[in-house]
Amino acid sequence: MKKQVLYTSVLLTGLLLSACGQDDSVSVAAEPAPADAPAVDLSAEVEQYKEFAVDQLDQFVIETEKFVNAVKEGDIEKAKAIYPEARMFFERSEPIAESFGDLDPQIDARLADVQDAGEGEEEWTGYHRIEYGLWEENKTAGYEEFADQLIADAKELRARVETVEVTPDLMTAGAVDLLNEVSTSKITGEEEIYSHTDLYDFKANIEGAEEIFRIFESKIKERDESLAQNIEDKFDKVNTLLAKYETADGGYVSYEELTPEDTQELASAVNQLGEPLSQMGIVIE
């Protein structure tokens, strides 16, 4: 869940990394099209993204149901194994999920988010509430009600996504917001404060942003081929860094295993990606 992160034309320079330097290879966006130029038809791209989001949320419901069943059956280890994988489907599609201001926090709020909203712990629900039970209390007993609400909310989110008006603006803003989220809450480890599965969320956010770039890529190349190549190179750098922390089973190591230097390196790569990615809006000028 985004923590009041604003969409700006340039990605946040990044927590922890003001001294990491800037990348001089950032492209300059192409000149805006003349005012009387015909509007660019992006209907196919919009439809492609909506199909992607729907597929992700379909998988999110399926995996959440498995997670909920494990919780209700008292299988702690199974629930822990499913937890980060299931959440990745939500994180990839978060630009859509966040259209629903009630469901998003019910599914994805941290305790700090609830408290910041002036509510008490009794209002805290969703994945992170159950995360606390699994990793801090090492139990599932007493979390059955939260599990039932979680799957109900996941199904409601999937049903409502059919009503979302997906626009090119939502997509371009959403891609940058996904990176902003990485460079704030996820890079500090505060998102998955109990499970330390932050790298799964990190990867999913990058994948969600990259999907939007891929959908627009041909249009971006038409306007500014060097910008498209710059974005491509920066995604490659981030993905290469993340691959260093993959486990043999395709997962990721605990975020606690990363050193401050590791997190600095990751944050720097995300920030360097964010600047050219924020110029992706040239496709709708």
Query: Each residue of 228-272: pLDDT tens digit?
Result: 999 999 999 999 999 999 999 999 999 999 999 999 999 999 999
Q: What are phi and psi of 31, to 5 degrees?
A: -60, 140
The pair of structure tokens assigned to 234 is 């920066």
- Residue 43, domain member (yes or no): no
- Rounded CA separation 276/200 (Å): 24
- CA dihedral over 63, 69, 71, 74, signed as positive or negative: negative
- Does 202 lie in the same domain as 244? yes
Using CB atoms within 10 A of its CB, is residue 284 exposed (0-12), middle (13-18) or buried (19+)? middle
262 falls within a domain: yes
Distances (CA, A) of 177 to 97, 117, 126, 198: 13, 21, 22, 17
Is residue 25 pLDDT above 70, yes or no?
Answer: no
Same domain assignment for residues 128 and 206: no
- Give the amino acid at 272: Q
Is residue 35 in a domain? no
Q: Are 71 and 174 within one domain? A: no
Please give the DSSP secondary-structure letter assigned to residue 252. B
Give the separation between CA 119 and CA 273, rounded to whole angstroms: 36
Going by pLDDT thresholds of 50, 70 and 90, the confidence category of residue 49 is very high
Report how far residue 84's alpha carbon sits from residue 131's, in angstroms, rounded to the nearest whole number.
Answer: 10
Are residues 156 and 112 part of one domain?
Answer: yes
Residue 30 resides in a domain? no
CB 269 within 8 A of CB 234: yes
Dump pLDDT digits (tens) for 125-175.
Answer: 999 999 999 999 999 999 999 999 999 999 999 999 989 999 999 999 999
**Count: domains in the chain:** 2
Asked if the structure places residue 154 within a domain, the reply is: yes
Question: Are the C-beta atoms of residues 4 and 113 closer than 8 Å to each other?
Answer: no
pTM for the model stands at 0.85
Residues 146 and 178 in one domain: no
pLDDT, position 94: 92
Among residues 165, 189, 204, the one where a domain terminates is 165
The region, left, alpha or beta by phi > 0 then psi within -120 to 50, assigned to residue 76 is alpha
Structure confidence at residue 17 (pLDDT): 37
Last residue of a domain, one of 138, 165, 192: 165
**Residue 227 CA from chain centroid, whole number:** 23
pLDDT (tens digit per residue) in 169-206: 999 999 999 999 898 778 999 999 999 999 999 999 99
Domain boundary among 113, 130, 165: 165
Q: Considering only CA atoms, give the Rg of the chain.
A: 19
Is residue 94, in this structure, part of any structural domain at all? yes
Helix (H) or strand (E) holding 47: helix 43-72
Residue 181 is encoded by which pair of tokens?
Answer: 């989220």
The angle formed by the CA atoms of residues 98, 203 and 153, to the nearest 5 degrees, is 35
Query: Are both 70 and 128 inside the same structural domain?
Result: yes
Strand partners, 252: 246
Question: Distances from the Cα of 201 to the Cαs of 35, 67, 190, 253, 261, in angstroms?
Answer: 40, 17, 11, 12, 20
Q: Structure tokens of 222?
A: 């038409």
Tell me whether residue 8 is in a domain. no
Do residues 139 and 220 both lie within one domain? no
Residue 180 domain-assigned?
Answer: yes
CATH code, domain with 142: 1.20.1420.20
Residue whose entry in the numeric block shows the structure tokens 């712990």? 121
Note whether 153 and 174 are same-domain residues. no
> How far is 28 from 11, CA to CA, in rounded Å?
15
199 and 117, same structural domain? no
265 shares its domain with 211: yes
Indicate whether 171 and 160 sit together in one domain.
no
- pLDDT, position 198: 97
Q: Do residue 284 and residue 183 come from a single domain?
A: yes
Structural domain span for residue 247: 167-285
